[in-house]
Amino acid sequence: MELRSLRYFVTVAEELHFGRAAERLHIVQPAVSQQIGRLERELGVRLLDRSSRRVRLTPAGERVLDAARDTLAAAARVRVVAGEQAAVLRIGVASCVTGRLDRALTRLQGGDRPAEPVLVDLPVGARLDAVRDGELDLALVRGPVAAGNLTVVRAWSEPLHAVVARAHPAAEKPTIGLDDLDPAGLRLPSRATDPGLHDAVVAALPVAPVRPAAGNLVNVLFEVGTDPRGWTLLPAEQIAGASVDRLRTVPLDPPVLVDGYVVTSPVTPHTCVESFLAALAD
């Protein structure tokens, strides 16, 4: 029995949908079905009832789900213990290195138990799955996340800023209110790119977005930069230091904050989680 099969089963059980599970796992749907079928044959029981309309756990599947989660957590703990002597700390992050992250890395390297951080650039969903599987020791995310079988702890807050084109009427203002921005000009990345941050931004808006999502962040910033009325919202630390001639950033008044979270395995010692929080603090 492979840990991979258990991970695929847990993901399908959480989503109750093979397509969504495949998206989370970043593989094709037939590969998920194949692994679930193999696991069922190995165990000699049917774990999932499948129909054209829905997927649901069988009674045996419900029992196996708890055991599978325990097994994956135990495997993650083995990896953590095995890596303690080398003090390598694998951190899942987005592609940009912020000032906060840079300070945190310095603190972790110079603490009472020095760590050797290794940054791993992964999409949010893959970051969370890698923590579940023990491939990462922790992940950093912005905005609320639904993360089954993981420990999620708020670590910091930072303001959202408006990002506008150089020709935008607000480009040279010291601050701007959300009510002063044209809802029709708002561009947002697809929710799939970063669900927590997307939901936090949408929750802060005075009205629902008018336009459909513009894909990834690169597409969003390109569209904003070419539209004199276009704008988006991004965490201040994410855009600090970014120099794009056609874009300007404007603080919001009143400020709107987004929270950042540390995500770890449930078996990560509390003292380790506390050290991560301390490293990321202002």
Residue 91's DSSP bridge partners are: 119, 138
Question: Quick check: do 84-154+259-280 and 156-257 share a fold?
Answer: yes
| Statement: the pTM of the whole predicted model exceeds 0.75 | no
The letter for the amino acid at 162 is A
Tell me what pLDDT residue 23 has. 83
Q: Which CATH code is given to the segment(s) 84-154+259-280? A: 3.40.190.10
Tell me what pLDDT residue 80 has. 60
The domain spans of the chain are: 3-80, 84-154+259-280, 156-257
Query: How many Å separate Cα 278 from the centre of its chain?
Result: 20
Does the domain at 3-80 match CATH 1.10.238.10? Answer given as no
Element containing residue 88 per DSSP (H, E): strand 88-93
Render 232-246 in DSSP notation, one character per residue: EEEEHHHHTT---TT
**What six digits make up the tokens of 246?**
């056609």
| Close Cβ partners of 39 (under 8 Å, ≥ 6 residues apart) | 1, 5, 6, 8, 9, 47
What CA dihedral angle connects 184, 188, 190 and 196, to 10 degrees?
-130
Element containing residue 38 per DSSP (H, E): helix 29-43
Residue position matching structure tokens 């138990």: 113
Beta-carbon neighbour count of residue 269 at 10 Å? 12
**What six digits make up the tokens of 243?**
């120099």
Element containing residue 141 per DSSP (H, E): strand 138-142
Give me the tens of pLDDT residue by residue for the chain, a chain 282 residues long.
788 889 889 889 988 888 888 888 778 888 888 899 999 999 999 999 987 678 999 999 999 998 988 888 777 767 666 555 446 788 999 877 688 999 999 988 886 667 888 888 888 888 998 888 888 899 999 998 877 788 999 999 999 999 999 999 999 999 999 999 999 999 999 988 888 999 999 999 999 888 888 888 888 989 999 999 999 999 988 886 555 688 899 999 999 999 999 999 888 888 889 999 999 998
Tell me what pLDDT residue 86 has. 41
Integer Cα distance of 276 and 105 in angstroms = 10
CATH topology classification for 156-257: D-Maltodextrin-Binding Protein; domain 2 (3.40.190)
Residue 279's DSSP bridge partners are: none
